Amino acid sequence: MSLALNNRIIPPAIETRFDQGRHFRAKIGYVLLATEQTIEDDVMKLQPDGVGAHFTRAPIADSITNETLAAQAGLLADCASTLLPDGSLDVVCYACTSGSLIIGEQNVHDELSKGAPGAIPTSLISSVINALRQIKARKIVVATPYLDEINQLELEYLENSGIEVLSISGLNLEKDSDMVRVTPEFINEFALSVDQDNADAIFISCGALRTLDVIEQIELRAGKPVIASNQAMIWHTLRLAGIDDQFEGYGRLLSLH
């Protein structure tokens, strides 16, 4: 039996051929919250040909508080290590706005680099700050779904980064499973309700919100740039990976910068 089997296992008569694979332009990794239900769809919607998006998740209960987000810090390195362990990842991002500002950009970058040492590390709050600087927004209004304890830290973090926050307004939602169900139509109305004439831009914070669906409408009605968490993250991670593709219909950041 063994001899007969061995006689049927033969090497191929032709040499194996390789190319660069589907993701020949760049490979980007995202560490998501376990509760996340929006980011993957948004990233894949705006994924250019030849660019790979790779996802992993960090454990968290369905409770978004300062305490639960701070506990994410010790999980990031292990999570990042599961993303393409062959070392071919170009960029790795912690895809949580509130979590990355509570943990701190440098701490996030350090932890991600432990798990994916060959990739450029970044975070969602880093993406937002870079996006606001790119559009030269010095004074902003902020709309969030967060508890006030998170809003207070976000206000302080943005102002410490040199961006004046004229106001920040949150929906006081604790559960990620509630944040993902906020309707795009409401997000549109909410963003416009917090706008002020002297604001350079509106920032809608949180990757769980479906802001990408209505960002163009908000910009048209407000007559000013709108930055949303997932829009900023997609833009920033692509640019870090050397991808300069632009997209129409999702705000000035992605169409002009």
> For 115-156, how does the pLDDT look when each residue is reduced to its tens digit (9 = 90+)?
999 999 999 999 999 999 999 999 999 999 999 999 999 999
> For 155-178, how does the pLDDT look when each residue is reduced to its tens digit (9 = 90+)?
999 999 999 999 999 999 999 999
Q: Are residues 111 and 137 in the same domain?
A: no
**Model pLDDT, residue 8:** 80
First to last CA, the chain: 66
On whether residue 156 sits in a domain, the answer given is: yes
Q: Are residues 152 and 85 in the same domain?
A: no
Structural domain tally of the chain?
2
Q: Are residues 137 and 52 in the same domain?
A: no
Q: Are residues 99 and 51 in the same domain?
A: yes
On whether residue 98 sits in a domain, the answer given is: yes
On whether residue 8 sits in a domain, the answer given is: no
On whether residue 16 sits in a domain, the answer given is: no
On whether residue 6 sits in a domain, the answer given is: no
Q: Are residues 154 and 211 in the same domain?
A: yes
**Model pLDDT, residue 229:** 98
Q: Are residues 225 and 144 in the same domain?
A: yes
Q: Are residues 87 and 165 in the same domain?
A: no
On whether residue 255 sits in a domain, the answer given is: no
Q: Are residues 136 and 61 in the same domain?
A: no
Give the mean pLDDT of 193-213: 98
What's the chain's length in residues? 257
On whether residue 20 sits in a domain, the answer given is: no
Q: Are residues 202 and 79 in the same domain?
A: no
Q: Are residues 160 and 78 in the same domain?
A: no
Q: Are residues 168 and 107 in the same domain?
A: no
Under 8 Å between Cβ of 196 and 141: yes
On whether residue 21 sits in a domain, the answer given is: no
Confidence of residue 6 (pLDDT cuts 50, 70, 90): low
Which residues constitute the domain of residue 79?
26-124+232-248
pLDDT exceeds cutoff 70 at 5: no
> For 29-71, how does the pLDDT look when each residue is reduced to its tens digit (9 = 90+)?
999 999 999 999 999 999 999 999 999 999 999 999 999 999 9
For residue 221, the domain's CATH number is 3.40.50.12500
Q: Are residues 63 and 182 in the same domain?
A: no
